[in-house]
Structure 1
Amino acid sequence: MFDFNAKLGHWPYRPVRGFDELLRDMDQLGIAQAVVSSLDAVHFFNPQDGNGRLAELVAAHPDRLAPFAVLRPNFTDWEADLERCLDEYGIRGVVLYPNYHGYELTDERLGHLMGVAAQRGFPVCVQSGLEDPRRQYRPWRVDAVEPEAIGAFARAYPEVNVVALGLKFRQPELLGDPLPDNCFFDTSNYEAMGELETAVEQFPPEKILFGTNFPLFTPRANVDKLRLADIHATARTAIEEANARRLLAI
Structure 2
Amino acid sequence: MEIVDSHVHLYPPELNAAPTEWAAARGEAHWAVLCTRTRKDGRRVQEFPSVDELLRAMDAAGVARAVLQGWYWERPETCEWQNGFYEKCVRAHPDRLSACAALHPGAGADAARESVRRAAEAGFVGLGELSPHSQGVMDDAAAREAMDAALALAGELGLSVCMHVTESAGEAGRRNYPGKVETPLGDFVRWARRHPGTRFVLAHWGARLPLDAEWSEPVRNLGNIFYDTAASPLTYGANTSAGIWREMADAAGAERILFGTDYPLVLYPKNNDASAADSMASLIAESRAGGLAEPELAAVLGGNAMRVFAQSR
TM-score range, shorter chain: 0.7 to 0.9
Distance 2:103 2:181 in 1: 19
Aligned to 1:206: 255
Aligned to 1:80: 114
Which residue, 8, 16, 23 being the options, matches 1:6?
Answer: 8
Deviation at 1:94, TM superposition (A): 0.2
Aligned residue runs from structure 1 range 52-201, under 5 A: 52-75=84-107, 77-87=111-121, 89-95=122-128, 96-104=130-138, 107-129=144-166, 134-136=176-178, 141-167=179-205, 170-174=208-212, 176-177=216-217, 178-179=219-220, 180-191=222-233, 192-201=241-250
Residue identity matched to 1:163: V
Deviation at 1:145, TM superposition (A): 1.9
The 3 A distance-change label for structure 1 pair 184 and 214 is: same
Gaps of 5+ in 1: none
CA contact (8 A) 1:185 1:209 kept: yes
How big is each residue's C-alpha offset from its partner over 1:77-107, in whole Å with a ceiling of 9 and x where there is no partner?
33333222222x3211001121321113982
Distance 1:221 1:147 in 2: 29
Residue identity matched to 1:153: W
Aligned to 2:80: 48
Distance 1:135 1:25 in 2: 27
Deviation at 1:234, TM superposition (A): 0.8
Distance 1:222 1:116 in 2: 34
What secondary structure is seen at the aligned counterpart in 2 of 1:24?
A: helix
Distance 1:100 1:133 in 2: 17
Deviation at 1:243, TM superposition (A): 0.7
CA contact (8 A) 2:112 2:146 kept: no
Distance 1:43 1:21 in 2: 27
CA contact (8 A) 2:8 2:261 kept: yes
How big is each residue's C-alpha offset from its partner over 1:148-168, in whole Å with a ceiling of 9 and x where there is no partner?
321221111111111101236
Deviation at 1:32, TM superposition (A): 0.5
Deviation at 1:118, TM superposition (A): 2.2
Distance 2:216 2:262 in 1: 24
Distance 1:100 1:127 in 2: 9
CA contact (8 A) 1:148 1:176 kept: no
* Larger helix fraction of residues: 2
Aligned to 1:17: 48
CA contact (8 A) 1:168 1:190 kept: no
% of aligned pairs identical?
Answer: 26
The 3 A distance-change label for structure 1 pair 115 and 203 is: closer
The 3 A distance-change label for structure 1 pair 215 and 129 is: farther
Give the TM-score normalised by structure 1.
0.86
Aligned to 2:284: 223
Q: Does 1:246 align with 2:246?
A: no
What secondary structure is seen at the aligned counterpart in 1 of 2:107?
A: coil
Stretch deviating more after TM superposition (235-244 or 43-52): 43-52
CA contact (8 A) 1:168 1:189 kept: no
> CA RMSD of the aligned region, Å?
2.5
